[in-house]
Structure 1
């Protein structure tokens, strides 16, 4: 989930501790991978609702989601679960995530096993996850549902992208612990890879994050955060 390069952190894999049984924690960034109350419900509240989903994917055209920080794959699995329940027949989903330190298959499986609601998605993801994820990982999860995980520094990876996204999940580690993942340069790159009318959502509400998103060109909105957190941010790239 990280773009910063802390000292002594391996360049190609996530290093984890485990808290409270199956809660993955990054000692390098001194942060958990998701909300400690319920990361799956947080995904729905922040990323799906903040992006106007599932309403916005009620269409035949392919829907493209970009994510900063793949982590455990929780956001993918919950999004895919809701997609299956609500998307119109013939629609397609392409979920692309940018991850500096991809997790091992066993760690993904352990973390996601906490939620029986996404057992099907977890098993499908881990069955297809490479032993040594690197470069550009392309996975067909099912017909018309595709996952791409781009391994490497987010800013460099986004610079190589061409096709813009309909929605963004901004889910790096906390801005106070990983400010590079919320920089003005990275938010500008996200804006440039957003379709007119496209949206972003994030659990983060730090003032510098809000200012960087607004400076990039997004119309930024504050909403109540998840599980008692005061605020989250979402917004739109308004059509010219």
Structure 2
């Protein structure tokens, strides 16, 4: 399988008053921005974490070691992973073991990742540095699983990143995920990530 890296360009406003999208936030392959320019971290917490009941599951575990398995379609620049670590670092629960299974068909370089996430340094600068440094060790031209393990105040986070097609990743999972973050580009821009066969496999 051929892995193609993504280039970016600038999207210009089409209507008066519309914001100019910075070039580093635009995925050239899908002609779409990666995420909201201003509130991407808080947006992720509100939509994906508060909406999936993560805290209820972790709190119900009591004093036992708390394990949580997450699946994500569309790793991109790691925005959701950054937001998740920040969320869990400040949740007040410890001894959590998070397994984060994500997929990316068009991986970006660590330099591009740093540029894309750079606008959120005030909020999560140390986490950006941590992820970029760990991600730089991944051989993004090699398809298949790549694993990174990070120690955080909340516990241990294991990132399993599948370089390749999403359906292949879902079929390669040996243990079901507790929740899924469907964070690929929208159906009009990236219909493959929203196709029926994949969504049925996710369940």
Superposition TM-score, scaled by structure 1 size: 0.70
Tell whether the 8 Å contact from 2:4 to 2:106 is kept in structure 1 after alignment: yes
Which digits, 9 at most, give the CA deviation of each residue in 1:24-72, with x for residues without a partner?
Answer: 2112211111123421122012111221233332333311111000001
Q: C-alpha separation between the residues in 1 aligned to 2:94 and 2:36? A: 33
**Secondary structure, in 3 states, of the residue corresponding to 2:108?**
coil
Other-structure match for 1:117: 123
Q: C-alpha separation between the residues in 2 aligned to 1:16 and 1:95? A: 26
Q: Does 1:137 find its partner at 2:177?
A: no
Q: C-alpha separation between the residues in 2 aligned to 1:66 and 1:87? A: 23
Structure 1 runs, 4 residues or longer, greater than 3 Å off: 18-23
Other-structure match for 2:78: 73
Q: C-alpha separation between the residues in 1 aligned to 2:169 and 2:100? A: 15
Q: C-alpha separation between the residues in 2 aligned to 1:99 and 1:162? A: 19
Asked which structure has the greater RCO (Cα within 8 Å, sep 6+), the reply is: 2
Other-structure match for 1:202: none
2:8 alignment partner, one of 4, 16, 23: 16
Superposition TM-score, scaled by structure 2 size: 0.82
**Secondary structure, in 3 states, of the residue corresponding to 1:164?**
coil
> 1:23 Cα deviation (Å)?
4.4
1:178–1:82 Cα change, 3 Å? same
Q: C-alpha separation between the residues in 2 aligned to 1:159 and 1:125? A: 26
Q: C-alpha separation between the residues in 1 aligned to 2:23 and 2:29? A: 18
Moved more, 166-175 or 14-23: 14-23
Return the structure number with greater helix share: 2
Tell whether the 8 Å contact from 1:105 to 1:131 is kept in structure 2 after alignment: no
Return the structure number with greater strand share: 1
Moved more, 154-163 or 49-58: 49-58
Tell whether the 8 Å contact from 2:147 to 2:158 is kept in structure 1 after alignment: yes
**What is the number of residues matched between the two proteins?**
182
